[in-house]
């Protein structure tokens, strides 16, 4: 299996956790290849290339790394299965599919090769994919302000900042090639994954 690791997840705390995870994976007898991201969008390129040779691609990181990896797997034609070792700040992608963050449980999940199918959201004709929630508007404005920040308080400050300065925008939403089309003015718009 290929493991894509993000050293900056959770403000760098993920990298400090890696030795414990690495030891647990080795003790469980896993054969794995590790690649660390160096900059934004690295995980997408790594996942795209790894899809040719790896049936299982594991993310050791947070929601941003998961989204980049899903994008790479999607752009390669969904030939690989994604697994998540959630070590980010929020870990919404993992928790939305009711995945644990307990290391022993994660190792057991990988050993059993438990799989579930979920829908992914394709954005801009495959430019990006996501497995959780795609947001545009105020929540995206907040996210852009907290990228690479390492404390939870920055979310609250960014939210207050956005509430006072962000104004509703026009959105043209086309879902499933015209099956659902909406033209709306909205403060925030979210598309959510359907669990399978």
Residue 62 CB partners (closer than 8 Å, separation 6+): 6, 9, 10, 14, 86, 87, 88, 89, 90, 91
Structure tokens at 122: 């394709």
Helix, strand, coil percentages for the chain (3-state, nearest 5) = 40, 25, 35
| Digit-coded pLDDT (tens) for 29-81 | 999 999 999 998 999 999 999 999 999 999 999 988 999 999 999 999 999 99
Of the ranges 61-70, 92-101, 169-178, 183-192, which is most confident? 61-70
Of the ranges 14-23, 132-141, 154-163, 184-193, which is most confident? 14-23
pLDDT classification of 27: cutoffs 50, 70, 90: very high
User: Within its chain, how far is the Cα of 152 from the centroid?
Assistant: 18
All structural domains of the chain: 2-130 (3.40.50.10330), 133-192 (no CATH)
pLDDT classification of 196: cutoffs 50, 70, 90: very low
- Mean pLDDT to the nearest integer, 160-184: 84
Confidence (pTM): 0.79
| Digit-coded pLDDT (tens) for 94-152 | 887 888 889 999 999 999 987 888 888 888 888 989 886 777 888 788 877 876 666 66
The whole-angstrom separation of Cα 57 and Cα 132 is: 18
Q: Phi/psi of residue 119, each to 5°?
A: -80, 145
In the three-class reduction of DSSP (H, G, I as helix; E, B as strand; rest coil), residue 169 is classed as strand
Q: What is the separation, in whole angstroms, between the first and last Cα of the chain?
A: 24
pLDDT of residue 182: 83
pLDDT of residue 150: 60
Q: How many CB atoms lie within 10 A of CB 53?
A: 10
């Amino acid at each position: 299996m290929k493991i894509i690791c993000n050293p900056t997840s959770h403000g760098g705390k993920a990298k400090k956790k890696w030795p414990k995870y690495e030891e647990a994976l080795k003790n469980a007898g896993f054969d794995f290849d590790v690649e660390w991201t160096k900059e934004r969008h690295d995980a997408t390129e790594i996942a795209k290339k790894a899809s040719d040779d790896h049936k299982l691609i594991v993310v050791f990181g947070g929601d941003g790394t998961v989204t980049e990896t899903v994008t790479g797997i999607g752009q390669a034609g969904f030939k690989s299965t994604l697994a998540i070792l959630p070590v980010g700040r929020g870990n919404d992608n993992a928790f939305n599919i009711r995945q644990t963050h307990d290391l022993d449980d994660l190792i057991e999940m990988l050993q059993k090769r438990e799989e579930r199918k979920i829908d992914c959201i394709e954005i801009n004709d495959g430019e990006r994919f996501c497995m959780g929630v795609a947001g545009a508007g105020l929540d995206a404005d907040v996210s852009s302000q907290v990228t690479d920040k390492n404390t939870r308080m920055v979310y609250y400050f960014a939210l207050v900042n956005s509430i006072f300065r962000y104004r509703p925008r026009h959105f043209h939403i086309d879902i499933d090639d015209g099956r659902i089309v909406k033209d709306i003015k909205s403060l925030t718009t979210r598309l959510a994954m359907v669990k399978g």
